[in-house]
Amino acid sequence: MALPEQGVLLYYKFVTLPDPEATRNWFERSCSSLALLGRIRIAPGGVNVTVGGSMESLREHIDAVAGQELFQGCDFKLAACSRPMDRDAAASCGFDSLSVRLVEEIVTLGVFPSPSLANAGKHLSPEQFHGMLDQAGNLKQSNAVVLDARNIYETRIGKFCPPPGIAFLDPKIRQYSDLPAWIDEHAEQLRNKSVLMYCTGGVRCEMASAYIRSKGEEFENVYQLSGGIQRYLEAFPEGGYFHGKNFVFDHRISVPSLQDKTVGCCYSCKSPYDDYTPRLRCSMCRMLVLLCESCKASVPYLCELCAANRHSSEPVESGRDKCSKLRILCLHGFRQNASNLKGRLASLSKKLRRTAEFVFIDAPHELPLLYQLLEDETRREPTAQPHKKFAWLTDPDGPKASTQTWTPVQKSFDPMQYQKQTSGWSESWEYLGQVLADRGPFDGVLGFSQGAAVAAILSSLKDAGLIDIKFVVLCSGFVSPVLEQQVLGGLIDCPSLHIFSGKTGNDRQIACTESERLAGKFRPGSRMVVRHDSGHIVPTRPDYLEQYAEFFKKFL
């Protein structure tokens, strides 16, 4: 029997969501029921979606989303393609599971406050964008410039080649949040010009174009390619002014035009090459490195930016004596796993990559796989491949994990369930002791939700000499009954950073009063509290990052 045709679906929508968590739950239910895998980011200001599955399921998902009033007008980019070659290939780009996360912004420009999208550059259809290049080229000495808003690893394998006389600006940025600084530094090249911006699928040009236009009247003429390179190649299959391949963020890695030109080259030997399939990464900054088959044997890998900045050619090693970074052990929340938390902290770890190394582990208690039936019990059992879920503490009267199959439940989410999670500490403590011995030493422990409750328990053992850490970071934490048993009246004497929502109702899983009560268990002189205006997340806006950095620099 032939397998159903597979595909990939990409889309985004900037729209104010009245209830981001309810939207997250809707997307998780919808995509799970259709066995879709990939990444979905939900923010108060919109959604950003990259998912794969059968073409039938993807079309069904498009109909469901388009039927929602909030998401009418979405530009759905649907392409037929084969499945990932293997599980490793799927995992490398987030296509081995479904990840639906609440974030602050669906795309982070790295400036605060974020520019108003009402001031974004005018959208040009692929035909209009192409026509402006034609027209500017005919003028020979044009006042137009073409600006590539992508990261350097994307620009290596494909780019627009405008007609002679039109300036082409390639910022060669390591990450998107570096773009505002480049724009500030090169403002004279954009002043009083018609700026034609493009990126992979269009989403990054929205904020970047608004940021340029926010600089004043001399920066008004900013345009963005609607739908990005993806839509341009559909309109101009032979490539038009775009040469090479379009880097994409799913298992396809890149999409060529019909001409399939190779414009990239091996960083080492400079021979023509544009294959990112091996997904080699710089040993310093973890950026993708383009090395041909002959040269990839050279270890460690270095990207051109790290090499140009004269970084050491030695890869970062673990251990306090060999690494100037802080090593932080990260503990996930209840019914999550190491991969879930790694995804939640991806933006944070990227922005603190020069300061900290984050190490993620699974908890020792495996949980049953549950899905909630709707009132009419019509919800289909999820058909996605089960991924194990874990906990540090469990409810002694709760369901036990037996087989890795889905179990339906009729109960809705109990926001007070963490008060019943009192079992399993002895096994978790034994397991964590082994992790500390085998993979340590660690400078600190970071915990999220139930992981924060457990990190607090660990910090209470510091005075007894049972654990050697310098600090703890507690995100959306609460006071576990196990901690109440450990700390009999005294305050915990361990430097602590507490990150949680500062307003009742924002975090719908752990009330801010619970996180405040946990902060009260630590000595005031050595604790730092960061209250944010978001939900059950770790925010990474610049104003919050400055506060985190202030805490971490005490231990570097």
Asked if 199 is an active-site residue, the reply is: yes
Nearest to 155 by CA among 234, 83, 243: 243
Residues 308 and 285: their CA atoms lie apart, in Å, by 13
Nearest to 389 by CA among 414, 364, 410: 364
What's CA 193's distance to the chain center, in Å? Answer: 34
Residues 55 and 27: their CA atoms lie apart, in Å, by 18
- Cis-peptide into 300, omega within 30 deg: yes
Residues 420 and 82: their CA atoms lie apart, in Å, by 45
Residues 359 and 372: their CA atoms lie apart, in Å, by 32
SS3 category, 328: strand
What tokens does 388 get?
Answer: 């194990």
Catalytic residue among 31, 93, 161, 199: 199
Residues 240 and 236: their CA atoms lie apart, in Å, by 6
What tokens does 500 get?
Answer: 């949680």
Q: Determine which helix (DSSP H) or strand (DSSP E) holds 531, and give its type and residue range.
A: strand 527-532
Residues 230 and 247: their CA atoms lie apart, in Å, by 10
Cβ(12)–Cβ(48) below 8 Å: yes
* Active site residue ranges: 199
